[in-house]
Copies of this chain bind each other. A is one copy, B any other.
Amino acid sequence: MTASRAINRTGYVSEEVRIRVLEAADKLRYRPNVLARHLKGQRLNAIGVMLPDIANPFSSELVAGVKKVLDAAGYTAFLSVCDHGMEQERAGLQAFVDHRVDGLIVGTRGTNIGDRVIRELVQQGMPIVTIGRPMSKVKVDVIDANHYQGAFDLATHLIGRGHRRIGFIGIAPEDAHTLRRYEGYAAAMQKAGLRVLERYTVGPSKGPAFSTQQDGYQGMMTLARLKRPPTAVFARNDFTAMGALRAAHELGLSVPGDVAIAGFDDIPLAAYAAPPLTTVSQPIREQGELAAEILVDRIEKRNSGPCALHTMPCQLVVRESTTE
Contact = CB atoms under 8 A, between A and B. Distances in A.
Interface of A: 29, 31-36, 38-39, 44, 46, 53-57, 59-60, 63-64, 67, 71, 76-81, 83, 88, 91-92, 94-95, 97-100, 120, 124, 210, 213-214, 242-243, 246, 249-250, 268-269, 272, 274
Contact of A98 (B31, B53, B55, B80): B31
Contacts of A246: 272, 274
A7 to B, nearest CB: 14
Contacts of A31: 94, 97-98
Contacts of A60: 53-55, 81
Nearest to A49: B79
A100 B36 CA distance: 11
Q: Which of A32, A55, A63 has the most CB of B within 10 A?
A: A55
A67 B87 CA distance: 13
A31 B213 CA distance: 43
A206 B33 CA distance: 39
Q: Which of A44, A60, A97 has the most CB of B within 10 A?
A: A60
A288 to B, nearest CB: 12
A213 B54 contact: no
A-B interface, 9 closest residue pairs, ranked by CB to CB distance from nearest: A55-B60, A79-B79, A54-B54, A35-B35, A76-B95, A78-B78, A55-B57, A34-B98, A54-B60
A55 B59 CA distance: 7
A59 B99 CA distance: 24
Contacts of A46: 95, 99
Contacts of A59: 54-55
A67 B39 contact: no
A56 B57 CA distance: 8
A34 to B, nearest CB: 5
A24 to B, nearest CB: 17
B83 A81 contact: no
A140 to B, nearest CB: 19
A61 to B, nearest CB: 8
Contact of A210 (B76, B80, B268): B268
Contacts of A29: 120, 124
Contacts of A80: 77-79
B274 A99 contact: no
Contacts of A67: 81, 83, 88
A78 B81 contact: no
A32 to B, nearest CB: 8
Contacts of A83: 64, 67
Contacts of A76: 91-92, 95, 99
Given A39-B35, A242-B272, A81 B81 contact: no
A270 B78 CA distance: 31
Contacts of A274: 246, 249-250
Q: Which of A38, A54, A120, A268 has the most CB of B within 10 A?
A: A54
